[in-house]
Amino acid sequence: MNSPDSTPSSPTANIEPLPADTVGHRDLQNRQPPLTNRIDYRLIKTDNGINILLAAIHSVRHVQEPPALFVSFHGACIERGSMGTISVFTIYVAQIKTTFLVDVLFMGLDCFKYVIRENNLSIQSVLESVEIPKVSMTFAIPTMPFTAHAESSSNMSTT
């Protein structure tokens, strides 16, 4: 038995499992030690958030192998390839292990056109660039949701 001054017999001896309601799934209770490869998530709803996202993209724009950016669009009818509306645009920046969730419904289509003046970078220019390798996780016709969203975004307020 360990005294308070001695070291534990194993690195996980003092780790107590989290209650099931804080973990969300019972199987995760038995995961020890805690996750070390943590991925951060950032919800983007402001121009300042877009600045942070574009600064992260700018820092990895020259990474060729493996691709630094993984992008996905989520919304109504996008997955079926029909005219749809983008609700959330997700971009994972692998080198900094951060997923950015851009709230397109809240910000409107302008979030794709917002430009950082120092380097003339926007989400639209990143998506259109053949020089920045990206992996698309959306298996639909990519231009259709933009068209539908542009028609419906005029009533939305941007911040």
Establish if 14 belongs to a structural domain.
no
**Statement: residue 67 has pLDDT above 90:** no
Establish if 63 belongs to a structural domain.
yes
Establish if 34 belongs to a structural domain.
no
pTM (2 decimals)? 0.61
Establish if 30 belongs to a structural domain.
no
Establish if 148 belongs to a structural domain.
yes
What is the span of the domain harbouring residue 68?
A: 40-155
Establish if 35 belongs to a structural domain.
no
The pLDDT of 30-48, averaged and rounded, is 74
Establish if 56 belongs to a structural domain.
yes
pLDDT in tens, 90-120: 999 988 889 999 999 999 988 998 888 788 8
Cβ within 8 Å of residue 106, ≥6 positions away = 45, 156, 159
Residue 109 is predicted with a pLDDT of 86
- Give the separation between CA 100 and CA 113, rounded to whole angstroms: 16
Q: In Å, how far are 8, 99, 150 from 78, measured between CA atoms? A: 53, 20, 14
The pLDDT of 27-42, averaged and rounded, is 62
Q: How many domains does the chain have?
A: 1
